[in-house]
Amino acid sequence: MNSAGNEGSAEQGWTDDVLKVVRSLGKKRFSLDEVYQQAIHLQRIHPDNQHIEAKIRQQLQLLRDRGILKFLDDNGNYELL
């Protein structure tokens, strides 16, 4: 597999991992801070990433774009669809 393929696979892994964190919260509506509180789990899975919070935000945007969740406001509140 080429490096571009590996990067895509790693990115999908991030997306899946953030979605697992969101689902582990056990509720439809949640805040960015609640996801940040689980960042240690993501750090263990992805130890080479030194910008966990930025990556979480990026993945939440991707999940929004895929119609899996929606942004409720500009204060970091989301809803799992």
Of 61, 81, 76, the closest CA to residue 30 belongs to 76
Task: For residue 60, report the phi and psi dihedrals to the nearest 5 degrees.
Answer: -65, -40
Domains of the chain: 3-80 (1.10.10.10)
The three-point CA angle 55-39-32 to 5° equals 70
Average pLDDT over residues 67-78: 97
Cα dihedral 75/76/79/81 (nearest 10): 120
Task: Give the pLDDT confidence of 11-56 residue by residue, as tens digits.
Answer: 779 999 999 999 999 999 999 999 999 999 999 999 999 999 999 9
Q: How far apart are CA 56 and CA 64, in angstroms?
A: 12
pLDDT reading at 66 higher than 70:
yes
This prediction's pTM: 0.84
